[in-house]
Amino acid sequence: MTPLSITCGMAHPAMACPAPLIAATPAPRRRLQALLPVALALLTQAGLALLPLATPPSAVAASALLETVKQNPALARSLCDQFKKINAAGQSAMGPESIASVAGSQGLSKLDAEILITYVIGMNCPDVR
């Protein structure tokens, strides 16, 4: 509760409550306030069209990596075999050496290589750790 609500009729029942703020607002501002719901409705409807413009580049890159895994099962199998060898050596497929290796062989940043490894393991070789 705001201090105003405590003093307005609750703590002091005899006190009068102030008039609504809209009555004290200048006419141009009232017009803008009246248009606000319409503007929000239009923006909500247009929001679906504007969504691709608001998508961060990292999300687009992650989506492209997912499509790479989906469209290249041979690459996914090859990477799974590589990850199984890494596991057999007692290391994690998500370890720094593995990420660096995939980044170098696929021409990716380390972050993108980590995303690619996650997709490959999740979709093609869930037994890899």
Position 68: which residue type? T
Residue 78 lies in a domain: yes
Domain that holds residue 84: 57-124
Predicted local confidence at residue 41, as pLDDT: 72
pTM over 0.75: no
State how far the Cα of 123 lies from the Cα of 97, in Å rounded to an integer.
21
69-125 pLDDT tens trace: 999 999 999 999 999 999 999 999 999 999 999 999 999 999 999 999 999 999 999
Asked if 79 and 116 sit in the same domain, the reply is: yes
Scan for tokens 């990292």, then name that residue: 58
Query: CA-CA distance, 79 to 99, in Å (whole number)?
Result: 11
Number of domains in the chain: 2
Rounded-to-integer distance, Cα 14 and Cα 37, Å: 36
Shared domain for 95 and 45, answered yes or no, is no
Of the three residues 54, 75, 94, the one that is the final residue of a domain is: 54
Q: Tokens representing 102? A: 């995939």
Residue 39 forms part of a structural domain: yes
Query: 84 lies in a domain?
Result: yes
